[in-house]
Amino acid sequence: MKVLRDLFKDYRFALSFCVLVVLVIMALLSFFSPYDPTLWGVAPRDLEPSWEHWLGTDSNGQDIFWQATFAVRNSLIISLIAGLVSRLIAIIVGMIAGYRGGTTDRVLMFISDSLLVIPLFLIMVMLSMLVRQYMNLAVLGLMLSIFGWAWDARLIRSVILSLREREFTQTAILSGTGTLRMVLNEYMPFAMPLIFSTLINNMSWAIGLEITLAILGLVNMSIPTLGTMLNWAITYQAILLMRWWWIGTPVVLSVLLFIALYWMSVSISEYLDPRTRIQRVGTQ
The pLDDT score that the predictor gives to residue 177 is: 67
User: Mean pLDDT score of the chain, rounded to an integer?
Assistant: 87
Q: Is residue 178 classed as helix, strand or coil in its secondary structure? A: coil
Task: List, for residues 64-104, the tens digit of each pLDDT value.
Answer: 999 999 999 999 999 999 999 999 999 989 988 888 888 88
The amino acid sitting at 7 is: L
Task: List, for residues 177-225, the tens digit of each pLDDT value.
Answer: 666 677 777 788 778 878 888 888 899 999 999 999 999 988 989 899 9
Q: In the predicted model, what is the mean pLDDT of residues 252-269?
A: 91
Instruction: List, in order of start, the domains of the chain with CATH numbers.
Output: 77-250 (1.10.3720.10)
The pLDDT score that the predictor gives to residue 167 is: 76
Q: What share of the chain has pLDDT > 90, as a percent? A: 49
From residue 80, give the alpha-carbon distance in Å to each of 154, 178, 193, 237. Answer: 21, 32, 18, 31
Cα(243)–Cα(125) distance, rounded to whole angstroms? 30
